[in-house]
Structure 1
């Protein structure tokens, strides 16, 4: 896939899931990928390097994914509030999905998730997937 994505931040406290998302981003041609174990690390990474896309878990210690999403959307300390955010979470159901979208995520994906589903999610947020 040829995309405009060059920089990504993966915010996930589960190492195998971070690696899975990393593989998908590499397959999408993303060249600079920063990994963070929680929202606080993600905010620091975004302030340092920025990102075109963020893959975010919801439930994490220190700072959860929704709090981090809200901070990104606020444009805190120079972070681009329009950064694409894909939430990949075990928090399933319509109520949780609505809560996530209200916080500002661009796409809500329920775990468990496959490489194909992650790849399709990237295409969807980039508008490459047909409706």
Structure 2
């Protein structure tokens, strides 16, 4: 299996760090980081990732705005998983997947199981 390249977009540096460490150590993946939506768009232009983990609520360009920008360019088919601390009910999860994302992972999440959750959502063999 080839090494997966995942872009993590979150305005919280500690969350980016935890996700990066977990995906690299437990998942064996390559992880790139972006602190905001504009940085994410630039990183995707530099090198297309296999998947994007995108925080829903960020200052400036939020998750949906970043997603719209990515979907409007040549990166329409990169699978995106939203990260959100605001998911309260299953209805919220369904509404968010209506944005054209592969899935939604609520915060807080279990870091150790994160690679398996991502693989399950994206249909990657683990």
What is the TM-score of this pair, normalised by structure 2?
A: 0.85
Report how far residue 120 of structure 1 moved. 2.0
Q: Does 1:43 align with 2:41?
A: yes
| Partner SS, residue 103 of structure 1 | coil
1:90 alignment partner in structure 2: 85
CA distance in 1, matches of 2:3, 2:29: 9
Query: 50-59 vs 61-70, which deviates more?
Result: 61-70
Q: Which of structure 1's runs of 4+ aligned residues deviate more than 2 A?
A: 70-74, 93-96, 126-129
Aligned in 2, Cα 1:102/1:60: closer, same or farther, shift over 3 Å?
Answer: same
Q: Give the paired residue count.
A: 123
Query: Which runs of 5 or more structure 2 residues have no equivalent in the other structure?
Result: none
Query: Which runs of 5 or more structure 1 residues have no equivalent in the other structure?
Result: none
Aligned in 2, Cα 1:39/1:81: closer, same or farther, shift over 3 Å?
Answer: same
2:125 alignment partner in structure 1: 128
